[in-house]
Amino acid sequence: MKFTKATNYALHTMLYLAKEGAKQQPIGVQQLADHQQVSPTYLSKILTKLVKEGLITSSSGANGGYKLRKGWQQLSFFDIIQAIEGKASIFECSLHDEPACIVKRVMEKAEEQMEQELRQTTIASLLEGKSSE
């Protein structure tokens, strides 16, 4: 199983914004891109998705940039991944979504377990040095 690079950058961006968030100043796309050594143009597309989903806020102007929304401490990895990857299931049964398909049942159970782990892991818990373990 593999998530897109966009998800990787989104998760790292959110963690960086949380670490730097104590300053309450928006962080520019160039600084965010430099931190991850990625193109600002590419990162801007990811940031746009995060803004659209309400996970971060943006402001324009000389002192503009991005910062985490209020209540960000409750944002989970699942929230961030879903903002980038969408809400579709990872697995699609090739047997026309047959309800009795045992392969589908196994894959759905595995996906539910992964989703639960991702929902329990928040950006705040990583900053505190905790995970869902």
**Domain CATH for 43:** 1.10.10.10
The one-letter code for the residue type at 77 is F
pLDDT in tens, 11-28: 999 999 999 875 678 999
**Number of domains comprising the chain:** 1
Region for residue 54 given its phi and psi (left: phi exceeds 0; alpha: psi -120 to 50; beta: otherwise): left
Least confident of 22-26, 52-56, 67-71, 83-87: 22-26
Q: Does residue 132 form part of some domain?
A: no
Domain that holds residue 13: 5-127
CA Rg, the chain, in Å? Answer: 17
Q: Does residue 21 form part of some domain?
A: yes
pLDDT in tens, 74-125: 999 999 999 999 988 888 778 766 667 888 889 889 999 999 999 999 999 9
Structural tokens at position 74: 């409750």
Q: Does residue 73 form part of some domain?
A: yes
